[in-house]
Amino acid sequence: MQNRYNSSQAQALISAVPEQPAALALRVYTSRLIGAEPGLVLHGGGNTSAKARVTTLLGEEMEVLFIKGSGWDLATIEPAGFPALDLGYLRKLRRLEALTDEEMVNQFRTHLRSAAAPDPSIETLVHAFLPHAFIDHTHADAIVTLTNLVDGEALLREALGPEIGILPFIMPGFPLAKEVARLYESRVSMDCIILMHHGIFTFADDAESAYAKMIDYVTRAENFIAEAVGKKPRPAARSAAKPDPAVLLPMLRGALALPDPTGQPRTMLLAVRHDADILAALDREDAEPLFTTGVLTPDHVIRTKNYPLFLDLQGTQGHEDIQARIGLRLTAYRERYDRYVTAQATAQRVTPTRLDPMPRVILVPGLGLVTAGATAKDAGIAADIASHTLRAKIQGAALGPYRELDEASIFAMEYWRLEQAKLGRTRPQSLSGKVALVTGGGGAMALGIGRQLLAAGARLFLSDIDPVRLGRVTGRLAGEFGPGRVDGLVMDVTDLDSVTGGLNRLVLTCGGLDILVPNAGVAHVARLEDLDAAAFVRVMAVNCTGTFTMIKAAVPIFRRQGTGGHIIINSSKNVFAPSPAFGAYSASKAAAHQLGKIAALELAEIGVRVNMINADAVFGDEAVDSGLWAVVGPDRMRARHLDPAGLKDYYRQRNLLKTEVLADHVGHAVVFFASNQTPTTGATLPVDGGIPEAFPR
């Protein structure tokens, strides 16, 4: 591992904010260096601190501890991510014989210098009780690899040297802080303490030295492991089944869904990692016993559960056989998890609110590593941790047998209130865990629909045949909602092979589909006697055939999931109130509308609801225009002698409510149907401000 400390960069951070303590600037700098190394920390793991003297409001000097705040990631941490606490007071807490977690947190909150500061790390007292100015703590892969081996302590001393301190696993909090301080004071020459099954602390009185010691000790461990791996012969491989992800992932996703309090399936999003190293690892003959051991560090248990599910599909024949194998393995996993919780709750005399028993990591030989999460971010975090865990267990196997942490400690961490707080307790949004696809993704209507689906918590895909227009809309939505929430699929809705390929890419990204919004549409202005036959066929192909191909390709996904779903067709006011010189558009939309009614009749048996939205006069904006109005607008303006603003006002005055209809209004209607707010299928909902001749009848 490379030491990336640069004195010029460090000094620049100090100079950038001269009014803040230099120690805080240096703490931010080396924390980011640590956070940038996935081999040291993953997704908010680890913590760092600095001690400094500050002047209070009364002009008095106070010694404070700057400690990483909960929810901050070391890779991107800012000074605000280091709440400052009264260090003198924290040190006095060591006099106590015991301190409950609740009171410990209370003492942290009541001795912060700012009431608005984030909650300090639960390991704050470790940093307070050690005397050093800078303390770095990570869950470095190479270190935890060694701590999880049967002869771990001896291997650690051989790899890192005899001067390190080593402690057995102790739950974070007051007892750990006292033990770390006691161990250090028994030999004050040590500059590194290893916690078995947990990680490493390095410390010094300057930021550069504390960081350098971290890099040095981890590099020693990496080199030690690499030497052992180089001497170990490669294990035998076997020929694994090659499951089709388009078939397996929706089945798996559906099987993982448990009912929510209303009885609706609580779906999760999947992430798949299938690089060559992962596939080779899962093809090992010893893959199942090697990889179904417990987590590297109990901090991972809230993200991945303690054990993965190993799903070997060798010998399965056909879809029903695969589904049965999934069901059997998941049932066994759930029963094991329930026995573990019952046994530990009884032994520890607690009555926990049980977490769901489903695995978060599924290892599928021939396919790869599959993870599940309430959000795409959660699934991605689990995948990152699981990928590192596979590699660490392979490397560790070159040195000796794996020794997982006892289940009592795992349970204590998994059901620890302070650890659960890392995940947050916000109420799930109405479409959390749902995957939505909106076609015609390069236009104004898709922008509004997509915005409301994202606001309701969905994972969004937009498709369009035009990559430039599609990129403009996905980029705008990503700017509003952040990365990782929206993706674009370039595909042609008139081509079933293109549609199937696009849906396969979607499934490989998130595992399945819950909400389909056929929205792609084109228009052509011509009276019937002047209507070119080729133009008529083109409009029918996009507006009608495009709706058909999307439904046809999506139904197998809905069936494999077995969790219901929604198809919400963006029809048009023209279905009931057509316009002259607009026959191709009106006929194609009416045909698509009728297809929706047929789909409602046919798909109710698998719980898929199909509804239609009849919108009218939805304009775009300067950045994202409406393809429909680009065709229709000029003719309508010429006929009525209006400019663009006048045309919008004309349509606003035409409806009963005298209101402008926006794409976001259509989006609200989509969310209404998609969030199961009413048991409705085959319905038509106008979003037009009130057009009497277009009232559904």
User: Which residues are catalytic, by number?
Assistant: 585
| Single-letter residue type at 583 | G
Please state the three-class secondary structure of 75-91 as a single string.
CCCCHHHCCEEEHHHHH
Backbone torsions φ then ψ of 499, nearest 5 degrees: -65, -45
Nearest to 629 by CA among 582, 570, 580, 591: 582
| Single-letter residue type at 65 | L
Assess contact for 675 and 431: CB atoms under 8 A: yes
Alpha helices (H) along 201-267:
207-231, 245-256
Assess contact for 558 and 606: CB atoms under 8 A: yes
Nearest to 366 by CA among 234, 236, 274: 274
| End-to-end CA, the chain | 71
Radius of gyration of the chain (CA): 30
Tokens of 94: 């060591």
Nearest to 41 by CA among 53, 33, 49: 33
| Single-letter residue type at 361 | V
Assess contact for 173 and 122: CB atoms under 8 A: yes
Residue listed under structure tokens 């950038």: 16
Which DSSP helix (H) or strand (E) runs through 54? strand 47-55
Nearest to 492 by CA among 553, 583, 407, 445: 553
DSSP state, 197? T
Contacts of 582 by beta carbon, 8 Å cutoff, 6+ apart: 523, 525, 574, 632
Tokens of 488: 């674009």
Assess contact for 271 and 376: CB atoms under 8 A: yes
Strands 134-138 and 165-167: unpaired
- Please state whether 429 falls in left (phi above 0), alpha (psi between -120 and 50) or beta: beta
Assess contact for 381 and 215: CB atoms under 8 A: no
CA atoms within 13 A on the CB side of 350: 13
Instruction: Please classify residue 422 by burial: count the beta carbons closer than 10 Å to its beta carbon, then call 0-12 exposed, 13-18 middle and 19+ buried.
Output: middle
Cα torsion 521, 524, 528, 531 to 10°: value is -120
User: 343-362 burial, b if ≥16 CB within 10 A, otherwise e?
Assistant: ebeeeeeeeeeeeebbbbbb
